[in-house]
Amino acid sequence: MTTALPHGRARTLALAVLGLLTVAPFEQAFAQPRVTETSASRHGVPVTEIVSPGGIHAWLVSDSTVPIITLRAYWDGGSAIEPANAVGVTSVMADMLTEGAGQYDANAFKERLEDLNMSLGFGAGWDGVGMSLTTLSEHRDEAFEMARLSLMQPRFDAAPLERIKRQMLVGLRTRETNPSYIANLALDRALYPNHPYARRMERPNLDQITRASIEERRAALLNRATLQITIVGDIDAATAGRVLDSTFGALPQGARLPEPADAVLSPATPLIVRTLPQPQSVVLFAAPGIQDEDPDWIPLAVANYILGGGGFSSRLMDQVREERGLVYGIGTGPSVRDHSALIRGSAQTENGDVREAIEVTRAEIGRLYRDGATQAEVNDAITYLTGSFALSLSSDQDIASVLHSYQTAGRPIDYVNRRNDLIRAVTLEQVNAVIRRLFNPDAFTFVVVGQPEGLEATPTTPTP
């Protein structure tokens, strides 16, 4: 669960695109990237915005302390905007991007990555596709060439495609006995049954995924219109501008694809029970939340720490686990997608303790909603949230992840250096206002998966 201020939208990622690398005009080929100085480049994390000679924007933290370079890239548009007859194709496309490119088949591609001691990965989420690259400085140009090949010349060969589809088929079979999957599906379908967020891949969808559909998806999503990039490590602005153009410059300009409507949440369902033979039960609970650009977002981080985001310092952990021993663990946190926002919580407990655990959880949420937080709790939350932040910036890879999450969430470039000051400025009045706004116990839907004693299973919601 969240124990520090969330860094932005929770996104899982992926990527790729069509075409050959183009040669920049002579005058651009020798131009230096433009660098925008900000207050963030003068203290804290020295982040700057650069623009490559070819016009590609990126956030850059140049640090030669360790001879490693890390890059994160992200494109808007994920599985939530897949056609109804192509559910799952974005994820398969992302998996296929490191299954061979250019002159390298799948095995040769992976061997080349190993020879270079680099990592290159892609992934697809509900709202976007993204890329992660880490390389030693001495292999910089070779590593970025491998990334370019994966973007511009993926092979999409038949053998690895069939292997990936077989692996996904196994996942489709085993998820029916996975309590976390069952609980999350039940929650999504209770809260927004007709939205793409409640949709899941099924066997017929997998059967319809072909090389042609993967190519089509790649061409639709991976362009320069929505591309966002963060680079951290042993690289200067001029060199970063050059590798940005060589790696991403041949992507088509493209355009942002139409997005689904924002999810309209259904009224809360007090309790949903799905029977699954096992000695423990998984409990999820959720209520309407707010997007991370909302003015109440930072006060919410403090309020959430007090309720269930602060580990053993939180009220739920204290009352549900420590005082009564009803759960193995319990926690809460804001959950943000581009078109929905929730306050989510989870717990796991013995089947015989589920009823009481839910009752105590609801009672604690209700006590916070009714009485509010105390000044001492707010002070403790602020101390932890600001003091622990440095731990999330302890390596170049961590810095890249944090900065990139801020970038994709639309934060200003100096947010990483203002974040702690914004938390320190939160008042008790602001925290209690957001508690009154978001922590009404009657707004929470609870889902239980297992064999809870004294709770009856509810009918399964039809597939949208």
**Where are the extended beta strands (E) located within 308-377?**
329-337, 340-350
- DSSP-derived pairing of the beta strands 445-450 and 272-275: parallel
Identify the pLDDT of residue 459: 67
| Cα–Cα separations (whole angstroms), residue 372 to 76, 219, 318, 432, 433 | 38, 51, 17, 5, 9
Q: Which CATH class is domain 272-450?
A: alpha beta
Q: Which CATH number fits domain 26-248: 3.40.640.10, 3.50.40.10, 3.30.830.10, 3.40.1110.10?
A: 3.30.830.10
Identify the pLDDT of residue 177: 94
Q: Which two tokens stand for residue 238?
A: 């001029």
CA distance 195 to 185: 12
* Whether the Cβ atoms of residue 224 and residue 251 lie closer than 8 Å to each other: yes
Please list the pLDDT of the chain residue by residue as tens digits (464 residues): 333 333 333 332 222 221 222 222 222 333 444 444 444 444 489 999 999 999 999 999 999 999 999 999 999 999 999 988 889 999 999 999 999 999 999 999 999 999 999 999 999 999 999 999 999 999 999 999 999 999 999 999 999 999 999 999 999 999 999 999 999 999 999 999 999 999 999 999 999 999 999 999 999 999 999 999 999 999 999 999 999 999 999 999 999 999 999 999 999 999 999 999 999 999 999 999 999 999 999 999 999 999 999 889 999 999 999 999 999 999 999 999 999 999 999 999 999 999 999 999 999 999 999 999 999 999 999 999 999 999 999 999 999 999 999 999 999 999 999 999 999 999 999 999 999 999 999 999 999 999 999 887 776 544 44
pTM of the full structure: 0.88
Exposed, middle or buried by CB within 10 Å (0-12, 13-18, 19+), for 305? buried
Identify the pLDDT of residue 202: 93
* Whether the Cβ atoms of residue 230 and residue 58 lie closer than 8 Å to each other: yes
Identify the pLDDT of residue 322: 94
CA distance 325 to 322: 6
Identify the pLDDT of residue 460: 59
Alpha-helix runs per DSSP H in 8-130: 26-29, 89-96, 106-115
Query: Which one, of 326, 287, 298, lies nearest residue 422 by Cα?
Result: 298
Identify the pLDDT of residue 419: 96
CA distance 439 to 447: 17
| Cα–Cα separations (whole angstroms), residue 344 to 2, 288, 347 | 10, 9, 11
Residues 6+ positions from 310 with CB-CB distance below 8 Å: 3, 317, 380, 381, 384
Q: Where in the chain is the domain with CATH 3.30.830.10?
A: 26-248, 272-450
